[in-house]
Structure 1
Amino acid sequence: MDHAVSLAHSAQCLKKAIPMMVKYRMPVTPINYAIWYCYVQGSKPALNAELDDVIAQQQTCTQNKAKEIFDKHLSEDDLVFFQEMADRFHGTMEQVQQDISITLGHSKSFTTSLVDSQNELANLANVNSFNEILGCVERLTDESVAMQDYAREFQTKLAVAYNEIKDLKEALNLSKEAADTDPLTGFFNRRKFDDDIQLFCQTYSEQADEGVLAVLIMFDIDHFKRFNDDFGHQKGDEVLKLVAKKVSQNMTDTLNVYRYGGEEFCITGYFTSINDIMKFADKIRLDIASLAVRKKDDINSKRAISASFGLAILRPFTKGAVLIERADRALYIAKTHGRNRIEIAPDI
């Protein structure tokens, strides 16, 4: 990769690369940035060909495969360079946006000042300096007209640049959102959960309020494998979407929901009492239990959907791994005690 590139060229490469990362649901990581940056540059045809093959087969490129492509065609020096360039680019975007706003204000003020000066000189009536005044007026008029033309052109260019930077930032945000989201359910994904659960525990420990309970709810769909085995994987996906829709209808701003993996989900959030937690979880359980699916054109194949729940209430200074283990244990108890039920993890 050519490291002697301008920031403008880097911006153009990123602008092309980011939509492709969004399209193929690849998370925002330095390695993914690097291979797509190289891809749009076209400097390594072998990398492009391999990435094209992977996308054609899988409609995405997993992190492991991306690392494999990176190791084969790029180097750690490329990764360091790219990270530095990306950091510099992000910082420059912020600075340029500030400069644009300031410059737009200055150019408008300068234009107004020129017009005011022109009007003031044009109104002078000292006959003894008539020629000087007239010459000044003519000169200032010419300069003012030229400056106004320049200011209008400059403002237009700045506005275009501002919009391009804004679009690129939105694309970056979109790629980050896409990287955090499970495409089937619309919930946050496992990678996002792994990041958030540590912050969830830390924040509660630092700001513990005796009137608020923090909880991790883990639940999964009962006998999910049977839906796939008997009805096919498309029907299994339909079950996941139906469950996700019911869960979404119960969510509030104080709650986050994640697809933990396969048919298993997690919810983190805050409640005022254990009773409120149980009511919330039981509402979701009953909503899911109201669902059913059937085979196409087979009215006798109807099968009910249900889910089992494990709850773990967070205690201050508990690690994320411990909280997950407790909720998972409660979920296991719910499964072994008959499914379609809720169990609360005992304090350790």
Structure 2
Amino acid sequence: MSKTLSFPPVYQHAFLQASENLRQSLLLANRYQTPVTPVNYAVWYEYVSGDNQDLVNSIDTRLKKNDPITPEVTQYLYEKYVLMGMPERLSNTNNGLKLVVDNTLENISRVEAAASECNEGLTQSQVKLESCNDIDELKTLVSQILTNTQQITNSSGELKTELTRSTEEIMKLRQELEAVKEMARTDSLTGLLNRGAFDNELQKLCSKGHAFSLVLFDIDKFKRLNDSFGHLLGDKVLQFFASLLKSHSNDIHIAARFGGEELAMLFVHCRLEETFMITEKIREKFAASRLKKKGSHESIGQVTVSAGISTYQNNDTPISLIERADQALYRSKADGRNQVNFI
């Protein structure tokens, strides 16, 4: 399931769900008369899946205003919310690096030419010195030598200045690349790892065979919360819960947005008992919180979360771990929500 923002997008919907998304996407494309191009289909697919909340909010806003959904609009939505602006940022960074390299090579070539010219002048002065017997001619030669030497010094200084400037530009571009790399791993709403990065971390842990546990969290009745108070408040609830996960990660465990209102944690080198205890603390603290409407002291009431835990076993794959955690989560939901179960 394409659960959260990632670049490139990750889709893991089951066959029936993907087929239903296809059906709904084609209906919307027909209703709003948008050609079924790969870009338009991707936008409507993301919309009906409900996983890309920023894109959903943007389209809903346009539909409420009766604004047309033109190919230009879908192209904009695709680049901003599906590709997350990555191609443009990567292109800008690539162009910046090319410019820095070109300028540096140009400066080096210029200094090499100046140095070659000065070296030729010094060689000529050396030849003349060997046969020089006149004091005035000697003074002229010394003056030429000093001039050539000063030119080399100036050119070296200019090159040093340009290289320093180039180094600073490269450092800025390096920071931009790091930011792009981090953005590709991070969910924009919660600041946690996105689904793609989470899947990579889970795969690494399974391949190493280390002891760890997977916890899937699902905020209870989240759709009703969105319907009652709006998506913006729903986003605030997700951000608050994400902050609880961050506070319990301790730079060891891994917290991620699994998708929609589902979040996940990987408890590394952590026994089941300890994982269960930490998960219970998170659940209790969230249930005890009384979130309020923005700009108001009115509480939205109790919001709870259900959780399911699975612990790594020999020959486990990411899929088998997720399936067991999902089964445990389903049991928590079926037994009344606001509880933790494990398998």
Q: State TM-score, norm by structure 2.
A: 0.61
1:196 aligns with 2:216: no
| Aligned mate of 2:171, from 138, 159, 166 | 166
Matches within 5 A, 1:76-91: none
Structure 1 stretches lacking a partner, 5+ long: 1-24, 33-49, 71-84, 115-127
Post-superposition offset of 1:150: 0.4
- Taking only the aligned residue pairs, the percentage that are identical comes to 29
Partner of residue 149 from structure 1, selected from 141, 145, 154 = 154
CA distance in 2, matches of 1:272, 1:129: 90
- In 2, the alpha carbon distance for the partners of 1:130 and 1:60 equals 76
Q: Distance in 2 between matches of 1:298 and 1:168?
A: 43
Alignment-derived partner of residue 214 in structure 1: 212
Q: Which structure 2 residues correspond to residues 238-249 of structure 1 after superposition, within 5 A?
A: 238-249=236-247
1:27 — aligned with what?
Answer: 7
Q: Report if the CA contact (8 A) 2:312-2:321 is conserved.
A: yes
Corresponding residue of 2:80:
60
The answer to whether the Cα contact below 8 Å between 1:54 and 1:60 also exists between their aligned partners in 2 is: no
**1:302 to partner: Cα distance:** 3.7
Hey, what's the Cα distance between the residues in 1 that align with 2:191 and 2:341?
26
Per the alignment, residue 181 of structure 1 pairs with 186
CA apart distance, 1:181: 1.5
Secondary structure at the residue paired with 1:186?
coil
The alpha-carbon deviation at position 328 of structure 1 amounts to: 0.9
User: Taking structure 1 as reference, are residues 133 and 255 closer, same or farther at Cα in structure 2, changes over 3 Å only?
Assistant: farther
What TM-score results when the alignment is normalised by the length of structure 1? 0.60
Q: Work out the CA distance in 2 between the residues paired with 1:159 and 1:175.
A: 24
1:253 aligns to 2:259 (yes or no) = no
DSSP 3-state at the match of 1:292: coil
Where does 1:94-173 land on structure 2 (aligned, <5 Å)? 137-173=142-178
Shift of residue 259, structure 1, vs aligned partner: 0.6
Partner of residue 266, structure 1: 264
Using CA pairs below 8 Å that are at least 6 residues apart, which structure has the higher relative contact order? 2
CA apart distance, 1:51: 8.1
Whether the 8 Å CA contact 1:222–1:305 is kept in 2: the answer is yes
Alpha-carbon separation, structure 1, partners of 2:283 and 2:258: 17
The number of equivalent residue pairs is 254
Match of 2:49 in 1: none
For residues 185-218 of structure 1, what are the alpha-carbon distances to aligned partners after superposition, in whole Å with 9 as ceiling and x for unaligned? Answer: 111111222233212211x32xx4xxxx311111
The gaps in structure 2 that reach 5 residues or longer are 10-37, 40-69, 120-132
CA RMSD of superposed structures (Å): 4.2
Matched letter for residue 74 of structure 2: V
